[in-house]
Structure 1
Amino acid sequence: MRPLAIAAAVLSFTSTALCSEKGNLTKPLTSRLILPSTFKPPQVFKNVNLVHIINLEKGYPKESINVAIENIDSKPQDEYFIPFTSQQMATIGGLEVKDRKDPEGGLFEVEAVEFDTESDTQFYRVRLPTPLAPKTQQTLGISFSYLSALHPLPANIAQNDNQFLVYTFSAYCPSAYVTLKQKTEVKFPTTNIPEHTIIPGGKGEPESPQKAGSKFTYGAFGELPAGAVEPVKVRYEFTKPLIHVSRLERDIEVSHWGGNVAFEERYIMHNRAANLSKQFSRVEWASQQYYNPPTTAIKELKFTLKVGSLTPYFTDVIGNVSTSRFRSNRREANLEIKPRYPVFGGWNYPFRVGWDADLKKYLRKLSSGETYVLNVPFLEGPKQPEGMEYEHIELRVILPEGAENVKYVTTVPLVSDEISFHMTFMDTIGRTALTLKAINVVDDLRDRALIVTYDYPFTAGFRKPLVIFIGFISLFAAVWAIGSVDVGIHGKRS
């Protein structure tokens, strides 16, 4: 972007400080740095105190680590490594690191480093914005989620049975450094937890976990070496669907002439809940709806759209689905839709939804020059109490024909970006399209801002009217030329 003018406009346009955050989250998830399988992080830090929190209240596990680190080296250090297994690296999403004591300071730069395939342990590398001086401490807040990490047990249940999920983790938070003191807290959606691992106490300490309602606490544990693990398995009740979107294609089309921005989202949705042990009974399902019991089926999707959204539509592979409700006023714009059938565990439901909005609510023009700033949510989608996870997201921002010098800012982790051309009706060279791809995203990142800046010359706005005018002139000229051709049959002149 251009220097201070554009930066100031972007900052004033957004209601949050997203564009001022420093971070890796617009960079690919993997770096070009290849480390050998025998790599071990230099022991330049120690974890003074660590609290590991695992939240199982949604259809995916969300983990956070609050850790006070201390530089035990003789030189300032700015690289902190977080270990994961290769399976965890394939399903981890939304990893963010920040200073717990300075939450407004923005996100730290984080990148996944690549390893030889012989190693099962891989790392994310965190770069501290300021090197940590020897014998000083800093408190990090690390958060992330895992996709497809919860498994129903039993895998098949009756239509009215309650569902139980299994999750496996380590009571010792995996770390690349020595940890002096730590504990792990697990938050469950209910108090019905029929199975869990018990860790015997030692040296007069009680066994773990300590229970307080729907919260379990493993520890506190004393000093542990780097890489220490203590496997824990829990099985708990979760009578809700596990909504997994294997692919989401989201288009945002900007029209300066129409003053409109059109949104369209195409979903391939899957319910990862327990499968039905018998055939689905429509009669049994209808009789249950009078008292609305908990169910693992997806029976309704609620879209909380931006105020001012208009003309929504909802279709699936068969056609339009009329079972929907749209409420729009000055305070809200809610779209509630019901799939054509209840989506039980193991079932798929592909569909698309779209709506329009006033472009003035999303676009601003800088006072000087021909630069525009577009602020749209990166992800909207259904807002479900059980949560949603997205395996692949492809977001395409289609700008007016002639837009150039396109740049963007977002705090959603991306794997790639591309600028191409999208041909539509009466285009000449095609509209400029920015395509962004992300993987392993959860709905906690819903409504994160995507800020796009681009230059749109004044003359470019007349490209399409000029093409239409020339087209009509050419058509009339062709009709006149054809009409002036003498196709009659005449006799020979004597």
Structure 2
Amino acid sequence: MKTSAVFSAVLSLLSLASTSSAHGHHHHHHKHSDSGTSSASVPPAFTPPQVFKNVNLVHIVSLEKNYVKESINVVIENIDKEAQSDYILPFTNEQLSRLGGLEVRDRKNAESGPFVVEPVEFDSFGPNQYVRVRLPTPLAPGAQQTLGITYYLLSAYKPLPATIKQEEQQFLSYSFSAYCPSVYTTSKQKTEVKFASTNIPDYTKLPGSGDVKEFPQKQGSKLVYGPFDEKPAGALEPVQVRFEFNKPVIHVSHLERDIEVSHWGGNVAFEERYDLEHRGANLSSQFNRVKWQQAQYYNPVTHALKEMKFPLRVGSADPYYTDVIGNVSTSRFRSNKREALLEIKPRYPLFGGWKYPFTIGWNSDAKNFLRKTATGGFVLNVPFLEGPKQPEGVEYEQVVVRLILPEGAENVKWTTGIPKSSISEAGVQVHKTFLDTIGRTALVIKGRNLVDDFRDRDLTVTYDYPMSAVLRKPIVVFSSAMTVFVSLWLLSLINLKFTTKK
């Protein structure tokens, strides 16, 4: 199995210095490739060189949402005799398929953007893969730098017990290492685990050190493993936690988000098609609607998904909400100068293992998103991802954003605030609809393993829209209408009366 295949197919964790997205993607269909190396030159093995030491490391594992967010704040030191610029992160194959939103920054310099991260290619059947972090400035021998590493893991929990009654509390379990996985020696470290509730009935206990007899120490809704003294490269300490999570575990396996720009109508139309599922504990017996309705009188906390709230941009209008049966009437839309909020209720509450495909859409004034440049081009600025804003969080396995520009739009370039490692594919296509002659220009971007933390990160698109293209549609409409009128006029001249001879 080539790791290059793992990276491109399984996960596209390419950050491929996706500078191409910043410099713009032109009119050919473009797939991100993992790196410039050809497969012939892929090395047979990879051993991370021991050129760094982790002086001090704090690993924060947040289990507060229905996805895992991991943050590693680490002071690294160059222990080699030469300047070094590649810091290596290890992940298992299994983690990589569920990993998203990987970003690395300088903790001491908030202004500097995220560093380039890219897969290390090598031929391997081993359990681990590696990601290379390129430090913008090589670190001198003996020098230190503080890195802030964040990423998300989707489909991370197992419900335990796996089946429960509809009124029972839901508990989830999660397994990880109390020592932060690293390819370098770590002098000092600790792991903090954060929960949404203080009810954490089970967790692995480890022998303590110093004044602390036993790890972890429990502090409200937080467990702290460590501080641990020096651990060698590759050291792991598997632990498991089980915690109350009496909320829906919302997983969107596929989201298609269409954004259609109309210059003539001065409108931007949004439509989102969701394949949503609840990944929590299944019901141990048949759903009882009578019992459900009676309980709703007290509005109890429940692991069922009852409603979703979509905060839209101010000025959004004409919302609709449909599912496979048709229009769903259980929605509310509040719109004023401060907010535009669409609240929807599925036809039935969603429990663990249940799926619910649905569609929502709305219109918005183009001037909220579109502006003309001094050179006559256009700049469109829209959120890459919107979606529901839920206290329990929402994770997205696959996202396809289709930006449909006017017919004849050209020289399309784009850039986005979504981490480059979560963009798997992008290209410009042609999209044909009613009254089109050559078809509309459509920018299609595919993202993977995203979470609602990335709501409202921008997608900025620049394009040219020449006058000939602007006039194409009215000319087509005018000539079509004239053809109809002339045809009708010619038909009216034909005498269809039957004359009878006297």
TM-score, normalised to structure 2, is 0.90
Task: State the SS of the aligned residue for 1:176.
Answer: coil
Is 1:373 the counterpart of 2:379? The answer is yes
Question: Paired residue for 1:53?
Answer: 60
Q: Distance in 2 between matches of 1:76 and 1:334?
A: 53
What are the superposed Cα offsets for residues 20-64 of structure 1, whole Å, 9 maximum, x if unpaired? xx9779594844656556311111111111000001111111100
Q: Distance in 2 between matches of 1:256 and 1:193?
A: 55
Is 1:459 the counterpart of 2:479? The answer is no
What does 1:387-426 correspond to in 2, within 5 Å?
A: 387-412=393-418, 413-426=422-435
Question: Paired residue for 2:46?
Answer: 39
Deviation of the 1:112 alpha carbon: 2.5
Relative distance call for 1:30 and 1:344 in structure 2 (3 A) is: farther
Relative distance call for 1:357 and 1:284 in structure 2 (3 A) is: same
Q: Distance in 2 between matches of 1:439 and 1:116?
A: 24
Kindly provide the amino acid, as one letter, of the partner of residue 458 in structure 2. Answer: A
Deviation of the 1:201 alpha carbon: 2.5
Kindly provide the amino acid, as one letter, of the partner of residue 176 in structure 2. Answer: F
Deviation of the 1:292 alpha carbon: 1.1
What are the superposed Cα offsets for residues 197-233 of structure 1, whole Å, 9 maximum, x if unpaired? 1111356653211111111111111111111100010
Q: Distance in 1 between matches of 2:209 and 2:305?
A: 46
Relative distance call for 1:237 and 1:316 in structure 2 (3 A) is: same
- Whether the 8 Å contact between 1:23 and 1:110 is mirrored in structure 2 is no
- Choose which of 285, 288, 308 in structure 2 pairs with 1:278: 285
Question: Paired residue for 1:209?
Answer: 216
Is 1:337 the counterpart of 2:344? The answer is yes
Relative distance call for 1:341 and 1:61 in structure 2 (3 A) is: same
Question: Paired residue for 2:480?
Answer: 471
Query: Could you list the runs of 5+ residues in structure 1 that have no partner in the other structure?
Result: 1-21
- How many residues in Structure 1 have an aligned counterpart in Structure 2? 468
Is 1:250 the counterpart of 2:265? The answer is no
TM-score, normalised to structure 1, is 0.91
Task: State the SS of the aligned residue for 1:105.
Answer: coil
- Whether the 8 Å contact between 2:45 and 2:124 is mirrored in structure 1 is no
- Whether the 8 Å contact between 2:427 and 2:444 is mirrored in structure 1 is yes
- Whether the 8 Å contact between 2:45 and 2:122 is mirrored in structure 1 is no
Kindly provide the amino acid, as one letter, of the partner of residue 410 in structure 2. Answer: E
What are the superposed Cα offsets for residues 166-204 of structure 1, whole Å, 9 maximum, x if unpaired? 000000100111111110000111111111111113566
Deviation of the 1:130 alpha carbon: 1.3
Task: State the SS of the aligned residue for 1:472.
Answer: helix
Question: Paired residue for 1:74?
Answer: 81
Query: Could you list the runs of 5+ residues in structure 2 that have no partner in the other structure?
Result: 1-16, 22-30
Task: State the SS of the aligned residue for 1:471.
Answer: helix
What are the superposed Cα offsets for residues 69-114 of structure 1, whole Å, 9 maximum, x if unpaired? 1112222211111100000000011111111111221111112334
Relative distance call for 1:257 and 1:198 in structure 2 (3 A) is: same
- Whether the 8 Å contact between 1:422 and 1:431 is mirrored in structure 2 is yes
Kindly provide the amino acid, as one letter, of the partner of residue 227 in structure 1. Answer: G
Q: Distance in 2 between matches of 1:25 and 1:103?
A: 24
Q: Distance in 1 between matches of 2:76 and 2:294?
A: 57
Question: Paired residue for 1:305?
Answer: 312
Relative distance call for 1:402 and 1:57 in structure 2 (3 A) is: same
Question: Paired residue for 1:11?
Answer: none
Relative distance call for 1:146 and 1:30 in structure 2 (3 A) is: farther
What are the superposed Cα offsets for residues 234-274 of structure 1, whole Å, 9 maximum, x if unpaired? 01111111000000000000000000000000000000010
Kindly provide the amino acid, as one letter, of the partner of residue 429 in structure 1. Answer: I
Relative distance call for 1:245 and 1:254 in structure 2 (3 A) is: same
Deviation of the 1:469 alpha carbon: 1.4
- Choose which of 391, 398, 407 in structure 2 pairs with 1:385: 391
Q: Distance in 1 between matches of 2:293 and 2:357?
A: 23
Q: Distance in 1 between matches of 2:200 and 2:289?
A: 31
Kindly provide the amino acid, as one letter, of the partner of residue 180 in structure 1. Answer: S
Relative distance call for 1:340 and 1:62 in structure 2 (3 A) is: same
Q: Distance in 2 between matches of 1:488 and 1:205?
A: 107
- Whether the 8 Å contact between 2:100 and 2:449 is mirrored in structure 1 is yes
Q: Distance in 2 between matches of 1:489 and 1:331?
A: 69
CA RMSD of aligned residues (A): 2.0
Is 1:136 the counterpart of 2:143? The answer is yes
Kindly provide the amino acid, as one letter, of the partner of residue 232 in structure 1. Answer: V
Deviation of the 1:476 alpha carbon: 3.3
